[in-house]
Amino acid sequence: MDALTHAIEGYVSTEWNSHADAFALQAIRMIRDNLERAVADTSDDEARGNMLVAANLAIQPSGSGAIGATHSMSHPCGGHFGVPHGIANAINLPWVIEYNAAGGEGIADRYRVVCDVMGADAGGAGAHVGKALADEVRALTGRLGLPQRLSEVGVPEEGIPRLVEGAMGDGCTLVNARELTDEDFAELYRRAL
């Protein structure tokens, strides 16, 4: 899920470029085709090998700092509450997608491409595109048997102020597709709880 998050965030980051797009989109395709297989059958060397390649491709856009608010939210979840990074990303990614996609049609158009690659409905306005992709990610994490809420992995509501402080100070926030305030982060954490 960290690899998928890197690929999606890299594709919609304010630091995106055509070279990084190629890596991100191919990573998403490979994750779409192999992640569930690799989890369902850990002896499936082909799926596991493809996931290794996908993870390598997904990190490439991040070389220029192109990540985003999902990582900003997930880093303090791990630091303060011991939430594994991939699990935190799996939980936070759909909420950030919905937030970002509502930020304008230019951002929504980037998510629309990701929807197409993942097989989600990409029609409608930005909010619809964000919801469709977020629901696709939630369905994937559900099929993988991953937690769906931060509260399931030990993050308490009273921890939100510390999480917000960490997220606002995280460098990944600087290249998110849409600017966030303290209150925006607090609301995203509340939704993710």
* pTM over cut 0.85: yes
User: Can you give the residue range of the structural domain that contains 49?
Assistant: 2-192
Counting the structural domains of the chain, the total is 1
Can you give the CATH number for the domain in which 81 is found?
Answer: 1.20.1090.10
Residues 6+ apart with CB under 8 A from 103: 126, 177, 178
Local structure of 17: helix, strand or coil: coil
pLDDT recorded at residue 189: 98
Q: Residue 65's pLDDT is what?
A: 60
* Residue-by-residue pLDDT tens, the chain, 193 positions: 999 999 999 999 998 888 889 999 999 999 999 999 999 999 999 999 999 999 999 988 766 566 899 999 999 999 999 999 999 999 999 999 999 999 999 999 999 999 999 999 887 887 889 999 999 999 999 999 999 999 999 999 999 999 999 999 999 999 999 999 999 999 999 999 9
What pLDDT was estimated at residue 16? 81
Q: Are 172 and 89 contacting, i.e. CB atoms less than 8 angstroms apart?
A: no
Of residues 109, 118, 99, the one with CA closest to residue 12: 109
Sign of CA dihedral 129, 131, 132, 136: positive
